[in-house]
Amino acid sequence: MKKYCAFFALLLSAVFSANAQFTEINGVSKTVKPNNVRLFKVVMGRIEEIANTTPNANGSFTLKFQPEYKGYYAIGFGDKYEILDKYKIYAKGNDKINLELNDSTYVLNGENTKENQVLYQWYKLAYKVECRSVYFNRGKRNMQGFFPELQNLVSTSRNWMTGKETGNAEFDQLMKSTIDHDLAYFTMAFIISPRASKPNPNDYTEYVKSFNAEQYLQTEELLKFPYGTTLLRSLVAFKTQDYYNSAWEKQLPGISSDVLKGEFVLSKMAAVKSYTNYQELNDAYNKYFLTIDQKERVKKIEAGLQKFKPGTAAVNFTCWDASGKEVSLSDFKGKIVLVDVWATWCGPCNKEIPYLKKLEEEFQGKDVVFLGVSVDEVKDKEKWKSFLINNQLEGVQVFAGGWHQSTIAKSYNINGIPRFMLFDRNGNIINVDAPRPSDPKLKEVLNEWLSKPL
């Protein structure tokens, strides 16, 4: 009986395998620098790599996969976390795609589905506008010339799909949405992207003047596209005219869709460096994490920050003061320690110095140690010493001997400065990404912990 069951299971497996709908991509990479070709799926407006291959000596490659869904995937090269140099392709299974990848574009050739042919025609039509907006740092920029060019593309796009129906009604509808969202993406990229000079609103053409960010924030449609979450953040910034998302909590009510609210919060949560800050965000906004994907990402963020949970023993580190004496975090057990990780060349660090000095004065004589840790390079040690004297920096000042080489940077995942960290009297973590001295919250936290019984 067991033999029959095993045989039947094997037969079923063979049947399902035979019926599996695969998409085959055959291509040639003609990039100047050899690159691995990467294939991505689109998950909630972001890309996730599902396969990659190294082209052979003549640049040829093949990728064969079973699509998880009918819709957009992306193919290209470069950083797998970056949407640049990735091109949309449509896959539904039981289809073939033939293309060529170049340094700044892709070309369809040979046998291709009607869906990809239409998608490619739109890509070619929109190519110049996309280059000037999304890839603005790769060539000369003419601020005034962009908007008329965009307006021309908008005008052409209005009836562009007429006569281009593919027989796939689902795709045809997606393609109309693609045109609409691509235009929004190009517009937002040009206006929001950081650059030396910002576009002048006086140069806006009809499309931009009447642009309604709200219409894209009502449903989850934009999450079908590889640039979805990038577009989401840009739309919110444009709608509120807060291009740096400095008050993003106030921007949240401007997003109609709760799923999009969840994505917006997750984009902020992904940058959190401490468990304390993660917990605050999760407590306040977890009601917006509605999809399985969102909930899984929250769990992953939490798991990555577990070692920085309040009450966890601090990872000790040792540095050297100006005289060469060793100083360790563990030397200050019995006191609350505020660690300031900084460097002489860091502008934002220097802006905190006046606030830090004021804080030191206010807590003078109390059980608080102010420990400044410089991550200047070893070659700049004398410069650091002079900086201490010239700026009359007090507290305990130590030298870590470089940023990426230092124990403190590695132990606490310090990828940006200034970074302030708080530790309690027992040498346990309070917050490894504490508020800066310029933020009144830091004083509140210090007073709170000073008032706790020994």
- Residue 138 forms part of a structural domain: no
Residue 402 corresponds to which amino acid? G
The domain that holds 38 is classified in CATH as 2.60.40.1120
- Residue 370 forms part of a structural domain: yes
What is the spatial distance between Cα 325 and Cα 331, in angstroms, rounded to a whole number? 12
Same domain, 330 and 443: yes
Same domain, 361 and 248: no
pTM: predicted TM-score of the whole model, two decimal places: 0.84
Identify the domain boundary among 274, 289, 308. 308
What is the spatial distance between Cα 163 and Cα 114, in angstroms, rounded to a whole number? 12
- Residue 174 forms part of a structural domain: no
- SS3 for 353? helix
Same domain, 340 and 434: yes
pLDDT digit string (tens) for the chain, length 454 residues = 544 445 444 444 443 344 569 999 999 999 887 679 999 999 999 999 999 999 999 999 999 999 999 999 999 998 888 889 999 999 999 999 999 999 889 999 999 999 999 999 999 999 999 999 998 766 555 667 899 999 999 999 999 999 999 999 999 999 999 999 999 999 999 998 876 677 888 889 999 999 999 999 999 999 999 999 999 999 998 998 776 666 778 888 889 999 999 999 999 999 999 999 999 999 999 999 999 999 999 999 999 999 999 999 999 999 999 999 999 999 999 999 999 999 999 999 999 999 999 999 999 999 999 999 999 999 999 999 999 999 999 889 999 988 888 999 999 999 999 999 999 999 999 999 999 999 999 999 999 999 998 7
Same domain, 357 and 247: no
Same domain, 282 and 322: no
Identify the domain boundary among 61, 94, 111. 111
Residue-number span of the structural domain to which 428 is assigned: 318-450
Same domain, 322 and 349: yes
The residues that bridge with 53 in the sheet, in sequence order, are 37
Asked if residue 189 lies in contact with residue 138, where contact means CB atoms within 8 angstroms, the answer is no
As for how many domains the chain has, the answer is 3
Where do runs of H (alpha helix) occur along 97-221?
A: 114-133, 143-157, 169-192, 206-209
Same domain, 347 and 446: yes
The domain that holds 403 is classified in CATH as 3.40.30.10
- Residue 151 forms part of a structural domain: no
Identify the domain boundary among 66, 94, 111. 111
